Amino acid sequence: MSLSIDGVSIRALSAAIPEDVMTLGDFAALFGEKEVQRIAKSTGIHQVRVANRLSTVDLCAAAARALFDTADIDPASIDGLVLVTQTPDSLMPASSALLAERLGLKKALAAFDLNFGCSGYVYGLFQAAMLIKAGGCRRVLVCTGDVISKLLNPEDRHVRLVFGDAATCTLLESGDQALGFAFNTDGAGAQYLNTALDYTPSVTSRVQASGLYMDGGQVMNFALEKVPAAINAFIREQGIDPERVPFYLLHQANKFMLDYLAKKLGVAQAKVPIEVADVGNTGPSSIPLMICKRHASEDLRQDNLIACGFGVGLSIGIAHLSLRDAHLIAPVEVPALPN
C-alpha cells in the first residue's frame, strides 16, 4: 500500500565524491584486460570513486557544507538529521551525532542513523517527511554516505569494478508539496547481498565485519522481477498518469540493469537517467548523486518524478516527488587525506 505526506518540499540537493579513483587500467593490472573490459561493457562503469582514508562522516560533511554555502542555508535552522549509511564511523555513538557536531548544528536536534543500502535514500526521505509532518521539525537534512570500498574483497572483481564511495545531502522543509511513498521488504533475500558481523568474544573484544558478499544473479533477478511491478502498482495507487511522468530516478546499479528496467517499464531509455560511468554504484547515494550530476541541464527540475531504490534487504523503496523548486548543486570532490 502507498501513502502520501503533504506539507513537505525538497529545497536543495548536494553531493560529495572522493578525489581518488580506480580506473579500468588499474583493474586490468589486477584482473586482466579482457575480463575488465567485459565487465565494464555490461555495467557502463569505467572508474569508481575510492575513499581510502576518508570516512562516511568526512564525505557527508563535505556534501552538507556545499549545500549550506551554495543554497544559502543557515546550519542553525536545521531541526533534524537523518544519516543513511551501511558504513558508520562507529557503532556507538551514531554517526549522525558525529556529523551534527562536525557541522556545528544546534544541540536541540533530532539525529539518528538508518542502516540501509540501495533503497535507503527513499527511506531517508520518508523519515524526514514524517518528522516535518508531525510538527517536530521544520527543516531536516537527509544525508546518505558510504565508504563501501572498505568492505570489498580486493580479489573479487565482480564487486570491486562496480561499487564506489560517495555521499549526498538533501534538505527537506515545510512547504506546499506532497511526497508519496511505498515500500517492500523481503528478508528472505538477505543471503544474496550482505555483510555479516561477528560478535564472538575475544581477548581484544573487537567486532569483526565480513566483506561484502553479493550474488549478482539473484539480485538482478529480484530487481527485474519485482521493481517494475512495484513501480506500476505504486503509480496506479497514487493516481498518477504514466504519460505525465517525465523521469524515473532509479538506483544506479549499472547500465545493463537500468536499460533493462526501462524496457520492462515500457518507457523510453531517455526517461531513465544513467550516471554511473565515473563513480560506480554508490548504494543509497546513487539517486541523489545522479540528480546532482545533472545539475547543469536542470532537466530533472520537474513535478511527477518517480524515484525507486532497490537492493540489500532485499528491499524496494519508491517515492513520488517534485524537484521543481529544488536547488541542484554540482558534486564536490573531496581531497584525499594524507597517509
Residues serving a catalytic function are 118, 251, 281
Check whether 207 has a pLDDT greater than 90.
no
Residue-level pLDDT at 3 = 96
The full set of domain ranges for the chain reads 3-334
Residue-level pLDDT at 286 = 98
The alpha carbon torsion through 263, 269, 271, 272 (nearest 10 deg) reads: 80
The tens digit of pLDDT for each residue in 76-126 reads: 999 999 999 999 999 899 999 999 999 999 999 999 999 999 999 999 999
For residue 212, the number of C-alpha atoms closer than 13 Å in the C-beta half-sphere is 24
State the residue for C-alpha cell 544559502.
72
Check whether 283 has a pLDDT greater than 80.
yes
Residue-level pLDDT at 149 = 96
Check whether 135 has a pLDDT greater than 80.
yes
For residue 97, the number of C-alpha atoms closer than 13 Å in the C-beta half-sphere is 5
Residue-level pLDDT at 187 = 93
Sign of the torsion formed by the C-alpha atoms of 178, 223, 249 and 159: positive
Q: Which of 273, 187, 258, 254 is nearest to 228 (CA)?
A: 258
Amino acid at 236: R
Number of C-beta neighbours around residue 301 at 10 A: 17
d(CA 44, CA 42): 6
What average pLDDT score do residues 252-265 get? 97
Residue-level pLDDT at 96 = 98
Residue-level pLDDT at 80 = 98
Check whether 34 has a pLDDT greater than 80.
yes
Write out the three cell numbers for 38.
567485459
Q: CB neighbours of 83 closer than 8 A, spacing ≥ 6?
A: 56, 60, 94, 95, 96, 99, 111, 112, 113, 114, 143, 144, 145
238: left (phi over 0), alpha (psi -120 to 50) or beta: alpha
Check whether 205 has a pLDDT greater than 70.
no
Residue 110: alpha-carbon gap to chain centroid: 21
Check whether 65 has a pLDDT greater than 90.
yes
- 144 within 8 A of 29, measured Cβ to Cβ: no
Q: Which CATH architecture has domain 3-334?
A: 3-Layer(aba) Sandwich (3.40)
